[in-house]
Amino acid sequence: MSLESNVERVVPVMVPMPAERPYSYGVPIGMHVEPGSIVRVPLGPREVAGVVWDGPGEQVAASKLRKICHAFDCPPLPEEMRRFVDWVANYTLSPPGMVARMALRAPAAFDPEPMTEGLVLTDLQPDRLTPARKRVLEYAGDGQAWTRSGLAHAAGVSSSVIDGLISQGVFEHVEIAARPIVAMPDPTFGKGQLTPEQQSVADRLREKIAESSFSATLIDGVTGSGKTEVYFEAVAAALEQGKQVLILLPEIALTQAFLDRFHDRFGAKPAEWHSDLAPRKREKVWRQVAEGQVRVVAGARSALFLPFNELGLIVVDEEHDPAYKQEDRVFYNARDMSVVRARIGNFPVVLASATPSLESRVNAEQGRYERLVLPVRFAQAAMPDIAALDMRRSPPRPGGFISPALIEAISQTLDRKEQSLLFLNRRGYAPLTLCRVCGHRFQCDNCSSWLVEHRFRKQLVCHHCGHHEPQPDACPECGTLDHLVPCGPGVERIAEEIDQHFPDARTIILSSDLLGGVKRLRLELEAIANGEADIVVGTQLVAKGHNFPGMTLVGIVDADLGLTNGDPRAAERTFQLLHQVTGRAGRTGLKSKGLIQTYQPEHPVMKALVSGDAEAFYEREVQERRQSGLPPFGRLASIIISASTKPEAEGYARELRRAATHASEIDVLGPAEAPMALVAGRYRFRLLVSASRRSDIQSYIRAWLAKGPKPRGSIRVQVDIDPQSF
Ligand code: ADP
Ligand code: ZN
């Protein structure tokens, strides 16, 4: 290969684009790059940041070879991370460039920390000690370097006081990093006393950390058993070994309480990572993780792609939670990919849940994971007493949704000055609006879904594409005024019914569309924990991990809601969700109760919830999955074909189906309309690939899509390996 004279060699660079493999670039003479280096390269008319990948670059004609423009002064993306990116891309059938993109989500962080002028004390004393000067010296006496304005602010003096001291030589200038140094978590800081059961689980986890090799452990512990306390011991052990730690949490709203709790245990907060983080903060965390200043990150699923150099433990809290699945661009399950990341890095991963996923249970049964059980709540707190309310026998009053028995229970709870939680997994006021005269139903123009009335916002809203319109007075079909009726309840409507029964109670609605976003939500959660509400009406946001000390009654408004969609996973999901919700009650030892409103009290989910016997329920579910060859006993992939017109989508789906080759132990089903047939103006069809556990479903699909008809026009094809619903 003849190289341009000022090019030293050719390297592959992964660019954050839907690229199937890295592109080749020339390294200018004198520029130092190695695999993992973060560089800026020309791409078409632009320049983008990419990562030098492994191996030699593919040969490119010397005349076409473009050069790396700039190598950032930034720690290289570790080898483990590059292998992880390749693995995820290969498994999810995503372009590796798109996976790499997730690891490069903080562009401004590639430049080194900006330096700024700092001040430190010299040995000289000021000529005169005024009270203001005294305060400044007290603050500056901590041995750290301060910025001029930071010191003035801390001491509560004007900057001229500082300037006066500088001119007398009391301070000298030094260069300091503009980004503040992060406090180190201290593994011994707030170590508490564990119960004997907790201690034995913690000891086992410590052994795993000491082994410093890959292992997967499932902590299966009832709500309130102290799973968090216990995995904190694993975190402490990893920190003692000088390792970095990643704790994944399913819900951003949860992190605030979690950060505080972590602080109590370790004397410093972990770094936070999620998509709502301000860009500046995100860049800071990314860089400090890469440089090793941040030792612990608590984050959402995307934290898995942070550039850890010394990662030694991943904890996945609430591992069963569907929020770990990303269904956008790269479709991946962060729980599963955590296990992969741990295997590549050769360190332990700990999954925790009160209601483990069927997949993890089966993995434990088959010996791939070790299952550690915490069977009782901490501090003699009893599990709530659960009863099913048969809605056929105890119907609500006309126009209402809450049965007399539940109303009575709320009333008694109020009398005891304790808190009640009513759970309904539906935002807004009513899921459907109907014209009483002509029967017209308000539907989204872009999606196959009804518009949901949000009474506080005075809008009809599509929960799939976000389309919203003002709440109408007249029917668009027949023009009749004031005959539109809301059908069915959302949380707003339940809160209204509660207000009618208990006008003096303090009732809070907790739902992700609360005005004020995450901040407001956190405040509300705190208010509830502090006893500033009597009755909480909430969506699934209230299900997860919160500790509400005064909560002794949980009412499930519609336990049947998630069971009707025909998905084989529906029972498992409903059980997990409702068990989590009822688990909010009685966490501090008060006697507590869960009441489940249902039209099918004989359903296995209701029976399992009432009896508290999860084992029998899981065994039955496992049996069914095994018999039908569904995951985790078989493999599934869903191929979603979408287009802006229905014939286009359907036509292509059929063509693609015909191009599928026969393979033993692999079946292609469909096409059929996708469960949501129209989303945001795109018509969707689905092909399901079902295969035996040992077949290579990825290779099959890759080969099939490569030789099948090319998507044209508005057609888009998305592959979802291990889909959430099937
Ligand atoms: P889980 O994660 O299993 O739901 P947590 O770890 O949140 O359980 O524990 C439930 C509650 O009990 C928390 O308020 C926690 O602080 C408390 N707790 C659990 N174990 C201990 C312990 N050994 N010492 C003190 N408090 C504990
Ligand atoms: Zn819509």
pLDDT for residue 280: 83
Half-sphere exposure of 623 (CA within 13 A, CB side): 6
When computed from its CA atoms, the radius of gyration of the chain, rounded to whole angstroms, is: 29
Q: Separation of 226 CA from ligand 1 center, angstroms?
A: 4
Please count the residues of the chain. 726
Q: Report residue 287's pLDDT band, with 50, 70 and 90 as the boundaries.
A: very high
Compute the distance between CA of residue 230 and CA of residue 262 in angstroms, rounded to an integer: 12
Q: Is 438 one of the annotated binding-site residues? A: yes
Higher per-residue confidence, 299 vs 59 = 299
Q: Kindly state the average pLDDT of the residues 529-534.
A: 93
Compute the distance between CA of residue 48 and CA of residue 722 in angstroms, rounded to an integer: 32
pLDDT tens digits along 368-402: 999 999 999 887 788 899 999 999 998 999 999 99
pLDDT for residue 631: 92
The ligand placed nearest to the CA atom of residue 219 is 1
The ligand placed nearest to the CA atom of residue 379 is 1
pLDDT for residue 306: 97
Q: Kindly state the average pLDDT of the residues 326-341.
A: 95
pLDDT for residue 581: 93
pLDDT for residue 430: 94
pLDDT for residue 539: 92
* Average pLDDT over all residues of the chain: 92
Which span out of 107-111, 184-188, 337-341 was modeled with the highest average pLDDT?
337-341
Residue 1 predicted with pLDDT over 60: no
Atom of ligand 1 lying closest to residue 230 CA: 6
Residue 514 predicted with pLDDT over 60: yes
- Range from 1-5, 18-22, 636-640 carrying the lowest mean pLDDT: 1-5
Residue 2 predicted with pLDDT over 80: no
Q: Separation of 444 CA from ligand 2 center, angstroms?
A: 5
Residue 700 predicted with pLDDT over 80: yes
Compute the distance between CA of residue 669 and CA of residue 687 in angstroms, rounded to an integer: 6
pLDDT for residue 3: 58
Q: Separation of 314 CA from ligand 1 center, angstroms?
A: 20
Q: Kindly state the average pLDDT of the residues 615-625.
A: 93
Q: Is 487 one of the annotated binding-site residues? A: no
pLDDT tens digits along 542-570: 877 678 889 999 999 999 999 977 788 89
pLDDT for residue 5: 67
Residue 85 predicted with pLDDT over 60: yes
Q: Report residue 520's pLDDT band, with 50, 70 and 90 as the boundaries.
A: confident
The pick from 227, 318, 320, 378 for probing ligand 1's pocket by mutation, whose C-beta has the most ligand atoms within 8 angstroms, reads 378
Angle between helices 196-211 and 227-240 (to 10 degrees): 30
The pick from 228, 353, 581 for probing ligand 1's pocket by mutation, whose C-beta has the most ligand atoms within 8 angstroms, reads 228
pLDDT for residue 279: 86
pLDDT for residue 36: 97
Q: Separation of 681 CA from ligand 2 center, angstroms?
A: 8
The ligand placed nearest to the CA atom of residue 380 is 1
Ion ligand 2 neighbours (CB, 5 A) are: 444, 446-447, 462, 464-465, 467
For residues 276-295, b (16+ Cβ closer than 10 Å) or e, as one string? ebeeeebbbbbbbbbeebbb
Q: Who lines ligand 1 at CB under 6 A?
A: 192-195, 198, 221, 223-229, 378, 547
Q: Separation of 101 CA from ligand 2 center, angstroms?
A: 29
Q: Kindly state the average pLDDT of the residues 129-144.
A: 83
Compute the distance between CA of residue 233 and CA of residue 399 in angstroms, rounded to an integer: 52
Sign of CA dihedral 94, 96, 97, 98: positive
pLDDT for residue 178: 63
Strands (E) located in 345-446: 348-353, 370-374, 385-390, 419-423, 432-435
Q: Report residue 702's pLDDT band, with 50, 70 and 90 as the boundaries.
A: very high
- Range from 249-258, 592-601, 717-726 carrying the lowest mean pLDDT: 249-258
Q: Please report the DSSP string for 432-477 in residue order.
A: EEEETTT--B-B-SSSSSBPEEETTTTEEE-TTT--EEEPPSB-TT
Atom of ligand 1 lying closest to residue 583 CA: 4
pLDDT for residue 661: 92
Q: Report residue 254's pLDDT band, with 50, 70 and 90 as the boundaries.
A: low
Q: Model pTM?
A: 0.89
- Range from 103-107, 270-274, 633-637 carrying the lowest mean pLDDT: 103-107
Residue 54 predicted with pLDDT over 70: yes
